[in-house]
Structure 1
Amino acid sequence: MSPRTPGVVTVSSLSLQAAEQRRIIAECFARTGLTMEQLWLRYFALGGDASEADLAAYLRGVLPLSRLQRDMVAHAVNERLDEISGAQRAPYSHDAGDGSHPRGLLAALVGLLDGAQRVSPERLPAIVAAAGRALDLELTVYLADYEQRQLHPLPAGSAPGRVPLPIEASTAGQAYRQAGTVLTEEPGGPRLWTPLLDGDERMGVLEIEAAADADLHDPALRTQCQWLASLSGHLIAAAMRYGDGLDMARRRRRRGPTAELLWQNLPPLTAATGDFVVAGGVEPAYDVRGVTFDYALSETTAWLAIFDAGRDTGASGLAASAALAAYRSARREGQDLRGQESAVDKALSAQFADGTTVRGTLAEVDLTQGTLRHLEAGGEPPLVLGTGHGATTVDSARRPPFGGGGPGHIATARLRTGDLLALHTEGLAGAHAADGERFALAESLDAGAGHVPPEIVRRVLDAAKSRYRNGFTGEAGLLIARWPGAR
């Protein structure tokens, strides 16, 4: 089979209706006053992937286009005609009685944005499904639970018979784990799975089935599905900030007040700038009492911090939250590591007269050179894992926990291209089985090094939970980042 130009179909699939649509589009184009180059630029801006030459050939009736590409040409023409009062509009593929509602990518994205305005969070899956129909697609939203064990279908807008799918052993889980699109051939036709992302944070997956003449094998359509999934992920994450409906769908167990406080104070679990990616996680997910982390990314610098107040006292959650708030405040004022250290010490001393302390690690990475500066206040020194060498602990000199003394020594190390940097709590490194065997954190990081950072975090925390049956001596917190190399 000879390769096809993206968006171009064979002549045998071109119906009389499509031919009539082309004829009217060509006539309307003649009234726009646009040059072929100007029309192509408008068409390309809508997501069209045919070349200017192919577009000209289509308008002459020499080369057919797919339904999606035809509708993009029609919309590009109509955008110009809308600027010319009273001009006749070009028809869309499904124009029967519905000429005011264009189909295709633009219609899907606009429909999603328009439908999501002032809607209750629980209605968003139905809005996403409706947007998919503009591309002749059937969409179902699945969200990951907070332990990242299963993907759960949301009832609004989902087809009947959908059940939770395991992240570790399903095609949907493969798309989630790899943060990439997976196409499968099913008895009823091909099916596409693509991750729902809020920026770089994985929210779940979008199941996509084709209706009418949509072709999921079309690379251009798959790219458009990824855009639709990305926008859906942003809207779902935003809706979770003002309503509980979607958040409740992700919960498998109750969270106590302390765990609720700590989760609300966490930053997104994954973020990236350019090629630099940071990801984190805490366990036990539904009963965390004293562990939290934070980060901030800029063009030249990454700031990382992890805090561990333990889980033995009722004030652990408040102490960890106070340390986090003081750290953020100092960092956002432009304070360096020494200023951040001092701010955390002062906040804990002022708020806890009983001498409550918090262990933690502060780090700063120069993204232009790979220089790592770090400070441990009773916390664990960072681990560095890179290509060609196993995980190593960087040199450090611990000071007492925050709130209990200082200042400490700021150590320096140099990262190599592609190195993985890991900040963690003692509760993760100290996890052990009933026979006393300790969790091999370095080996677990090494085993997951080939995956994207959020998947490494998921695998390491899951391995510790599964093997040691939640036998953590404390609480598990993990924050990792990958440095791509000097810029």
Structure 2
Amino acid sequence: MKFVSDHEQRRLAAACFERSGLTLEQLWLRYFALGGADSLLDLDAYVNGLAQLAPAQRDMVAHAVNERLDELTGPPRAPYSRLERWAKPRHGPLSALVGLLDGAHRAPPERLPALVAEAGRALDVEIVVYLADYGQRLLVPLSGDHAAAQQAALDIETTAAGSAFRRANSVVTRNGERPTLWTVVLDGVERLGVLEVVPTDDSDPEDPLLREQCRWLAGLLGHLVTITTQYGDGLDARRRRRNREFPAEMLWHSLPPLTGATDTVIVGASVAPAYDLRGVGFDYALSENTAQLALFDAGAHRAEASLSVVEALSAYRAARHDGAGLAEQHRAVAAVAPGGGCLTGVLAELDLRTGRLSWLSAGHPAPLLVGDGHATAASGRTGPAFGTGSALPPISTHHLAPEELVALVCRGVTEAPNSSGEPFGRENLIGFLARDAATLLPPEAARLLVKAVSGHASDVFHQDVGVLLARWTPGDDNVL
């Protein structure tokens, strides 16, 4: 342990107090809120060097000052009466994580790649950050200028980096100048991109300890990417392959992450066109015992459709936040839906303790159930579209088997035509779900389904495409 003398601690605390901009009364209020026991006069005498306080009281004064400095400028901070020797690690995984966390404080989004590279040096590795574009087709490096980064983007389907992204894990390659580790960047369970990690000390990238340390770093980075994107455009601009018009921008900002999971359910979604989305939206809410799901479809690819979907999402969430069940959720959405039956959708609720699925359909195809290599429509009756009358669609139920998948799919999937006018079709949808969705994680299955539909339609959309998948995983302790 290393000790700070009483005199030195008081001198440094007084200097930091002067930098803080606090009045003596404000400092005393903060100190008192922390449990400080001395009076305002005692505090006045202490900061002016006329009296001394007990160690515990001095530390509370230091903490009150430091809280204010953190709000303004950060370090240097007022010292405490006892400090751990080398309180901040200088090398290794903890140094990398602390360095990234400290460096990200008040940092703009575009500074994150440099901070990650610096954190990598504490692990004796070189790191380059790649983020997936919004269409989830390419991984774009954050190094270099925008044009160069777009040219250096890696294909998600055909590269090792893409394999790490698709499988949400790590991949090692040895076909370059040096062995390289590619590890997925996650915000919780949502895939954002990958790290390219090259050891500089002859370490083997297959080393389980190095892979685990890079996984920690990628996890922290994933959270920082999501947080900083909320107040800056630097990373968002790198992820865009083209501009978004107002309707798509509004709708995208109303959607939740494409992936969500707990230990008993995995949810994955995908929508297209990524940069011109107009008429499809989804939502979900996961809790200890329940997964609530919703998919809305405003039909034709029209600018005004996005407003209908955003209003439906907002009404649905407001009712759900109030604890409303499916019937009340339907009434809330119907109250804001435009007339003419142009807004359809499915609302569903999954009991994660029993696997009981309850759902209602408003002018929309029934959920599809996928398990044991088969995909079939859930049995139940479909009601009228939202806003076409007061009749409540019937609520149907189905008991899922463990690992069974629920698929909510908009009409644009089956109706998307190719250049000859031939639709993608229900048979192709059923075949994909039965063949691929049962073995892939829901977010990857959703991505590939939308990619297949987009390819069939040559990326020409008369209706938007959207899918929301949920797999019940009772007893699964490691979903992603």
What is the aligned partner in structure 2 of residue 324 from structure 1? 313
Aligned to 2:53: none
Per-residue CA shift, 1:126-164, capped at 9, x if unaligned?
Answer: 111111111111100001111111111112699x99921
Deviations 1:193-216 (A, max 9, x none): 000101111111000000125442
- For residue 120 of structure 1, the aligned residue among 101, 108, 113 is 108
Q: Deviations over 1:295-326 (max 9, x none)?
A: 00011110000001123544211111111100
Relative distance call for 1:101 and 1:483 in structure 2 (3 A) is closer
Q: 1:40 matched to which residue of 2?
A: none
Q: Is the 8 A contact 1:357 1:404 kept in 2?
A: no
Counterpart in 2 of 1:250?
239
* Inter-partner Cα distance in structure 1 for 2:340 and 2:255: 25
Classify the secondary structure of the residue corresponding to 1:447: helix
Q: 2:186 is aligned with what amino acid?
A: L
CA root-mean-square deviation: 2.5
The residue that corresponds to 1:3 in the other structure is none
Please give the per-residue CA displacement for 1:411-438, whole angstroms capped at 9, x wherever unaligned: 1111111111100101112123234433
The alignment's TM-score, normalised by the length of structure 2, stands at 0.77
Structure 1 residue aligned with 2:37: none
Equivalent of 1:364, from 344, 349, 369?
349
Task: After TM superposition, list the pairs within 5 Å mapping 1:25-104 onto structure 2.
Answer: 102-104=90-92
In structure 2, the residue matched to 1:191 is 180
1:390 has 2:390 as partner = no
Matches within 5 A, 1:81-480: 102-155=90-143, 163-311=152-300, 313-348=302-337, 352=338, 355=340, 357-386=342-371, 388-405=372-389, 406-439=391-424, 440-449=428-437, 450-480=439-469
SS in structure 1 of the partner of residue 172 of structure 2: strand
Distance 2:289 2:317 in 1: 18
Cα displacement (A) at 1:217:
2.8
d(CA) in 2 for partners of 1:294, 1:397:
22
Q: Could you give the per-residue CA deviations for residues 35-64 of structure 1, whole angstroms, max 9, x where no partner exists? A: xxxxxxxxxxxxxxxxxxxxxxxxxxxxxx
Deviates more, 1:432-441 or 1:402-411: 432-441
Q: Check conservation: 1:430, 1:473, Cα contact below 8 A.
A: no
Amino acid at match of 1:282: V
Q: For residues 253 and 311 of structure 1, what CA distance do their matches in structure 2 show?
A: 22
The amino acid across from 1:263 in the alignment is W
- Name the CA distance, whole Å, in 2 between partners of 1:314 and 1:188: 50
State the alpha-carbon separation in 2 of the partners of residues 486 and 232 from structure 1: 29
- Conserved in 2, the CA contact under 8 Å of 1:370 and 1:486? no
> What is the number of residues matched between the two proteins?
392
Displacement, 1:468? 2.5
Report the counterpart of residue 74 of structure 2 in structure 1: none
- Equivalents in 2 of 1:118, 1:307: separation in Å? 38
Distance apart, 1:469 and its partner CA:
1.3
- 1:474 to partner: Cα distance: 1.8
The structure-2 alpha-carbon separation of the partners of 1:466 and 1:418, relative to structure 1 and needing over 3 Å to count, comes to same
1:313–1:144 CA distance, 2 compared to 1 (3 A): closer
In the alignment, the residues of structure 2 paired with residue 156 and residue 243 of structure 1 have an alpha-carbon distance, to the nearest angstrom, of: 18
Partners of 1:438 and 1:294 lie apart in 2 by 27
Which blocks of at least 5 consecutive residues in structure 1 are unaligned? 1-27, 29-81, 91-98
Alpha carbons 2:383, 2:393 under 8 Å: kept? yes
Partner of 1:55: none
**Whole-angstrom distance in 2 between the partners of 1:470 and 1:157:** 28
Q: Kindly tell me: are residues 85 and 375 of structure 1, through their superposed partners in 2, closer, same or farther at Cα, counting changes over 3 Å? A: closer
Superimposed CA distance per residue, residues 196-254 of structure 1 (whole angstroms, 9 cap, x where no aligned partner): 10111111100000012544232112111101001111101111111111011011111
Distance across 2 between alignment mates of 1:213 and 1:329: 55
Q: What is the aligned partner in structure 1 of residue 28 from structure 2?
A: none
Cα deviation, 1:259-290, whole Å, max 9, x if unaligned, reads 00100000011010114110111111111111
2:468 aligned with 1:484, yes or no? no
Quote the Cα distance in structure 1 between the aligned partners of 2:327 and 2:82: 65
Structure-2 change in CA distance of 1:460 and 1:100 (3 Å): closer
Aligned partner of residue 253 in structure 2, secondary structure: helix
Partner in structure 2 of residue 21 of structure 1: none
Aligned-partner residue type, residue 233 of structure 2: D
Task: Write the distance in 2 (CA, Å) between the matches of 1:169 and 1:394.
Answer: 36
Over 3 Å counting, the alpha-carbon distance change for 1:111 and 1:415 in structure 2 is same
Q: Percent identity?
A: 46
**Aligned residue identity for 1:112:** L
Q: Distance in 1 between matches of 2:416 and 2:304?
A: 23
Aligned partners of 1:231 and 1:247: how far apart in 2? 18
Measured after TM superposition, the shift of residue 380 of structure 1 is 1.4
Q: Could you tell me whether the CA contact under 8 Å between 1:288 and 1:475 is conserved in 2?
A: yes
Aligned counterpart, 1:77: none
The residue type paired with residue 232 of structure 2 is G
- Whether contact under 8 Å (2:88, 2:95) holds in the other structure is no
Instruction: String of CA shifts for 1:382-406, please: whole Å, max 9, x gaps.
Output: 01111x2411001121111111122
Q: Distance in 1 between matches of 2:80 and 2:230?
A: 39
Give the counterpart letter for 1:283 in structure 2. A
* Conserved? CA contact 1:125–1:140, under 8 Å: yes
SS state of the match for residue 311, structure 1?
coil
